[in-house]
Amino acid sequence: LVQLVESGGDSVQAGGSLTLSCVASGDRLVRYCMAWWRQVPGREREAVATIFTSGSRTDVVPSVKGRFTISRDNAKNTLYLQMNDLKPEDTATYYCAAANPDYCYSRRTDHYNDWGQGTQVTVTN
């Protein structure tokens, strides 16, 4: 069991950048595959980026490819999402989540045992 706290959400103009952070406590982050998810009210939660335990491999959805980068610093027990060239359609609540390594890169919410409380990203024209 790991506790996750996101930060870094804000309101920005289209084309801007944000970096989200997710600090873990209660366990070592290196034990988990991690992911950033996002959700818009009335829509299903979407996994946008995933990263292997060591950070050696990442995966992002096509809609954010080339704009979002997921990374981790296991020594700091912290996960990051660098978001560049933000678009209004990126507006959502962003969540970090931890999964057993058996479910690395999964896009099923039930494969993730631990979730943060979310941080709001709003992108305006």
- Taking only the tens place, the pLDDT of each residue in 44-80 is 999 999 999 999 999 999 999 999 999 999 999 999 9
**Beta bridge partner(s), residue 80:** 21, 71
The answer to whether 24 and 2 have CB atoms below 8 angstroms apart is yes
What per-residue confidence (pLDDT) applies to 67? 98
pLDDT digits over 79-116, tens only? 999 999 999 999 999 999 999 999 998 999 999 999 99
Strand bridging mode 68-73 / 78-83: antiparallel
Report the pLDDT averaged over residues 6-17: 98
What per-residue confidence (pLDDT) applies to 64? 98
The answer to whether 124 and 10 have CB atoms below 8 angstroms apart is no
User: Rounded to whole angstroms, what are the CA distances from 15 to 11, 44, 92?
Assistant: 12, 25, 16
Q: Provide the pLDDT confidence category of residue 125 given band limits of 50, 70 and 90.
A: very high
For residue 43 the two structure tokens come to: 């829509």
- Alpha-carbon distance of 64 to 53, in angstroms, equals 21
- Alpha-carbon distance of 91 to 93, in angstroms, equals 7
